[in-house]
Amino acid sequence: MDYNTNYERWFNCETLDPSLKAELIAMNEKEKEDAFYTDLEFGTAGMRGILGAGTNRMNIYTIRKANVGFAKYILGLENGKERGVAIGYDNRHMSYRFAVESAKVLATFGIKSYIFESLRPTPELSYAVRFLKCAGGIMITASHNPKEYNGYKVYDDTGCQLIPEWGDIVVKYVNEVEDELGVEVCSNEEAYPYMTWIGEEVDEAYYKEVMGIEINPGMDKSGFKIVFSPQHGTSNIPVRECLGRLGYDVVPVLAQCAPDPDYTNTKSPNPEVDMAYELAIIKAKEVGADVVVICDPDGDRLGVVAKHDGKYVLMSGNQSAAVYLEYILSQMKEKGTLPDNAVMYNTIVTSDLGELVARSYGVDVEKTLTGFKFIGDKIRKYEKTGEKQFVFGYEESYGCVIKDFVRDKDAVQAVLTAAEAGNYYKKQGKDLVDVLNELYEKHGTFKETQIALSKAGAAGAARIKEIMDNLRKEAPTTIANVKVVASEDYQASIRYEDGNEVTIDLPKSNVLKYYLEDGSWIAARPSGTEPKCKFYFSIKGHNAEDAASKTEVFHKAVLEMIGE
């Protein structure tokens, strides 16, 4: 169906929401095409897109369509109707409305729902699924995306985002819905008997679990100051409650504490972007804070800034995770609590530094595809077999989980770990950057960066496909005059090295990775949540200056290689 036909179908719908009808009337031809040229893609764990009218937009009709698919999946589970679905939502425009629409669609299928009474972080939704023994979960969020976006994520009964095996079932059901405008939804009155509002009981249980991750609970916390910002999002209350109850001195960035869908007082809600930290660093300088911690709007990612030699130094997700690992594993070893069969999980685009830290303590490392659902699935596997014991899991994109009572990234846990590690090392006369530098001295210096090429709309999608296709057709043998010694194509599930092909035992994914002779690597993949083609760089150098210099060269070489 072409975009004009889709547009007319919506325009002529007599029951269309009036606000969306007004948007249709105001659209120019380019806006019309982008809103209707395709259906908003429902991936294996949900969907994310710009808010507005159209089949390629987040609105009540695309939300209803998605929920029909998820409802049919739930009905296929044992006692799915009765066990029900936990539903959480963040501070974004339409989040509450989408949560209620989700519950109403589920009610139409006779499925119970447990809805948070107000906004909560994504990790608490994951916890709620487990705490309430639900058959699944829904989180309405677009994570760290700009204010124009919203999203819809679905979870299994362990609180893990659906892995492809089960997500494909939902996708099949979603794609069977031919007319999103015609999805039947029961009235509010008819839905109420199926809807239960949740809040304090789940909060308190979650807070207790988070506070229980302390490794040195009796450590004196005086003289250690933390500046915290929730970036107008969901982590404000959970983080301040947990840190406050444990006795930490927390200074909030009050201008960014209110749940504001327009993110009025932050230049970016994304911890991966330097300007997201501006107000927090200003506050840190005012109060002399030891660390700055900021969460993204749905509270699953954490960015850390450490005071080092009088300056505030932003740490990447790879760097902070390596320091957390060093603290956790060193303390577990010292206390004799490190399991002999311990395992740490990270992804194929995370730095090698975390792996080297883990292995230095005898901890096994297993890599997954990008997406925390794959880490959650690994945890589930070994939980059943007992073969290995989980001690840490993380992605490069500022997300980690310390204890597995949550099966998604958990910034609330990460804040507590950053605070405890920072306090511990300060008592030794060090800061978090000092610890990172010690790890570099021991394991080698790495610099991890990204290039994210934004390619919106139909033309952008075609360009992203072209980039990936061209890389497969003409695989580079050198990059910046450095030999490619091995490469991996996760879509073909093949690793190429020394003329040999080895099968990669991971689900298929559109990712290419190149290993270089100097110990560096570069990976390419289209984003699963944004219209971007991402390039990941893990560059190994003799020291920080060498790694930084080499990174600039590799950035330039890759852009030239793909014609950008």
What secondary structure does DSSP assign to 510-556, as a single string?
A: S-EEEEETTS-EEEEEE-SSSSEEEEEEEEEESSHHHHHHHHHHHHH
Same domain, 73 and 193: yes
Q: Is 178 exposed, middle or buried (0-12, 13-18, 19+ CB in 10 A)?
A: exposed
Last residue of a domain, one of 139, 166, 199: 199
What DSSP element (H or E) covers 85? strand 85-89
**Domain with 235 in it: what CATH number?**
3.40.120.10
Query: What confidence score (pLDDT) does residue 37 get?
Result: 93
Query: What confidence score (pLDDT) does residue 45 get?
Result: 63
Q: Which two tokens stand for residue 141?
A: 């969020």
pLDDT averages per 10-residue partition of the chain, 564 residues: 93 96 96 94 82 98 97 98 98 98 98 98 98 98 93 97 93 95 95 98 98 96 97 98 98 98 96 96 98 98 98 97 98 97 96 96 96 95 94 95 97 98 98 98 94 88 94 94 96 93 93 96 87 93 94 96 92
Residue 266 lies in a domain: yes
Query: What confidence score (pLDDT) does residue 174 get?
Result: 95
Q: Is 240 exposed, middle or buried (0-12, 13-18, 19+ CB in 10 A)?
A: middle
Determine how many CB atoms are found less than 10 A away from the CB of residue 426.
17
Same domain, 26 and 111: yes
Query: What confidence score (pLDDT) does residue 44 get?
Result: 61
Chain-centre distance for alpha carbon 454: 18
- Does the global pTM surpass 0.85? yes
User: Rounded to an integer, what distance in angstroms lies between the CA atom of residue 406 and that of residue 267?
Assistant: 30
Same domain, 119 and 252: no
Residue 205 lies in a domain: no
Domain containing residue 169: 3-199
Q: Which residues are catalytic?
A: 143
Query: What confidence score (pLDDT) does residue 499 get?
Result: 87
Q: Which two tokens stand for residue 498?
A: 């020394």
Query: What confidence score (pLDDT) does residue 144 get?
Result: 87
Same domain, 381 and 514: no
Q: How many structural domains are present in the chain?
A: 3
Query: What confidence score (pLDDT) does residue 456 get?
Result: 83
Same domain, 38 and 152: yes
Residue 216 lies in a domain: no
User: Rounded to an integer, what distance in angstroms lies between the CA atom of residue 150 and that of residue 66?
Assistant: 14
Residue 317 lies in a domain: yes
Determine how many CB atoms are found less than 10 A away from the CB of residue 76.
12
Query: What confidence score (pLDDT) does residue 1 get?
Result: 76
> What b-and-e string marks burial along 368-392, b requiring 16 or more CB atoms within 10 Å of the CB?
bbbbbbbbbbbbbebeeeeebbbbb
Same domain, 376 and 357: yes
Same domain, 452 and 406: no
Same domain, 325 and 306: yes
